[in-house]
Chain A
Amino acid sequence: MNFREYLVKRMALFIVVIIGVVTVTFLLSHVIPADPVGAILGENAPPELVKKTERLLGLHLPLHQQYIRYVKGVVYWDFGIALRTQNPVSKDLRAYFPATLELVTLAMLIAITCGIGLGILSAVKRNKMSDNISRVFSLVGISMPAFWLGLLLILILYYHLGIIPAGGRLSPRISPPLTVTGLYTVDSLIAGEFRTFWDALYHLLGPALVLGWIQTAYICRVTRSSMLEVFNEEYIRTARVKGLREKIVIFRHALKNAAIPVITMVGISFGYLLEGSVLTETVFGYPGLGRYAVNSFLSLDLNAVVGSITLIAICFALSNLIVDLLYRFLDPRIKY
């Protein structure tokens, strides 16, 4: 099998997974709930309203037709109207998704730099003081409930120190930049509005710190154990026998091999970040996809729920796909 054949096979798997995801989402939204309309409107709603809502959601149709209608909706990226916001769900997603993407990207950047750096340090100084400190730091990180850490940061950094804002994406006085990508930091730079850029970054700081720390912890752990494993390999011994400098042994010989599991972890991290963003956005009142999803869940806004989890799952599946391809690219040993 060459790379192209692998690509075809992997894409097929991707499609199977997406179909599965869509089906599971359908089951969760249309089949399992006993009385979705009753849940939305309350038990004593007038029958006409119930009928109207049922029609709106297509719940009056037989199940298989509901499914077809639903799949069509996903294909055309039309999830109907969100009851809570009264906007088309796809419009809401377009508005909220970039905010989350921006947050997750920043957190990921923090996590990759700090996590890999700390992990290497930890592995090289194994069982020394700096290793122990970084291990405890990352263990606390993976044990940390994101929502609680967010609250602590608000209490200390916002209320007591005033370093971060209370919430939102921008200060009230500043208007959003012209939408190009939807990412405020990028759009403001494109528009040349540096004040907006700094303000957007300032608002990202709190949630990005929360997500960044937790992700740093995961990546640090994987990097450390992967490096330690590689250090035991025979080829590291060969590198030492050759009299190479320690820096070359670590970065050229060890890190390149250790990177493979780390990249997998970064891919999985993306999922953790998405779920972390649900909690963090809620705590910080950051108007992203996560908070949108939670509010839709709580108000049982069926269309919005379906739209947001479908989008999140597709993002996650996509990141797994990219990791798998990258993995093959990095490791010459893999024969397709």
Chain B
Amino acid sequence: MVDLRTTISSWKGRHSSEISDAKEIVHATKKSPLTIVGLSLVVALVLVAILAPYISPHDPIAMHLENRLASPSMSHLLGTDELGRDILSRIVHGTRVALLIMIIVLAIDLPLGVFLGIVAGYFGGWVDEIIMRMADIFMAFPRLILAMAIGAALGPSLVNTMIAIAITMWPAYARLARGETLSIKERTFIEAEKALGTSKARIILSSILPLCSSTTIVRATLDMGNVIRIAAGMSFLGLGAQPPTPEWGLMVATGRSFLINQWWVPTFPGFAILLAVFGFNLLGDGIRDISDPHLRRGE
């Protein structure tokens, strides 16, 4: 018991800085109601995605043709679609698809972009030239158009959607990481490490990477909503997820023909997209503001 207590207090002593940082972040978050709304939306989305099979009232795939295009009611809160599937259940399961795409795309792009950006920025010369011209070329296409072209070339499917979006997004992170690296490289603490004889690899890993990745991660939180939106757009055009996957964009696309007479069929899935993207954007904005000491401290 006493041992535990001393362990805890020594841990607290060593991490007092982190504890006060955490307190500061909590304090700053509390003062920003929009961030709290965003955070709650995102937490809710994640919970819905995890618990989808347990909380969705019906099977998202099973068809009930006798009950097609039913308007919202107690048994089908958001109505049913043209094949009699419960729209609420499909939206709930759609959360999984949306989050999965987002997580996979960022899990590929963040490390890739940061790695290429740091290499380009730190070493400069022709390495920089090649990486950055590649980035320029990929950035010369509007994202959705390039993703569409890649999606069309690979054939429409969920996996190809992820690959397509991933290919369009790395240049943004690479550029950001390169810019950060260029400015960090000039700062005195890097010169101090050189003076100590620290190797290049260690300077990159222990001094540049932590600073570089935090800015890029902040930027990525601002992009989370974008990924969801682009994926939904591709599916809407028929170049992404294929039926019967419960994907929001696809649901809007198939429900489009019922817009006038059964408005709920395309409207609710679209609203789900808006809500999810809005949540991530609010949270991203909040994280950016809180992570910027200038904004955080200046009231």
Contact = CB atoms under 8 A, between A and B. Distances in A.
Asked if A and B form a direct contact in the complex, defined as CB atoms under 8 angstroms apart, the reply is yes
Interface of A: 13, 16-18, 20-21, 24-25, 28-29, 32-33, 39, 135-136, 139-140, 142-148, 151-152, 154-155, 159, 232, 271-272, 274-275, 278-279, 282-283, 293-294, 297-298, 300, 305, 309, 312-313, 316-317, 320
25 contacts: A13-B136, A16-B137, A29-B153, A139-B34, A139-B278, A139-B281, A143-B229, A143-B281, A145-B249, A147-B233, A147-B252, A147-B270, A151-B252, A151-B266, A159-B259, A274-B145, A275-B142, A279-B144, A279-B236, A283-B256, A297-B152, A298-B239, A305-B149, A305-B152, A313-B140
B169 interface: no
B142 A271 contact: yes
Contacts of A25: 149
Contact of B142 (A28, A144, A274, A305): A274
A282 B152 CA distance: 17
A278 B145 contact: yes
Contacts of A140: 274, 278
A259 to B, nearest CB: 21
Interface of B: 34, 133-134, 136-138, 140-146, 148-155, 225, 229, 232-233, 236-239, 249, 252-253, 256, 259-260, 263, 266-267, 270-271, 273-274, 277-278, 281-282, 285, 298
Contact of B153 (A33, A313, A320): A33
B297 to A, nearest CB: 12
A19 B270 CA distance: 38
B239 to A, nearest CB: 6
Contacts of A18: 140
Nearest to A294: B237
B238 A316 contact: no
B275 to A, nearest CB: 8
B294 to A, nearest CB: 8
B233 A151 contact: no
Contact of A272 (B142, B154, B237, B298): B142
Contacts of B266: 148, 151
A146 B145 CA distance: 14
Contact of A146 (B154, B233, B278): B233
A142 B281 contact: yes
A297 B233 contact: no
A28 B141 contact: no
Nearest to A282: B237
Contacts of A316: 140-142
Given A24-B137, A154-B259, A145 B233 contact: yes
Given A28-B149, A32-B154, A155-B259, A148 B144 contact: no
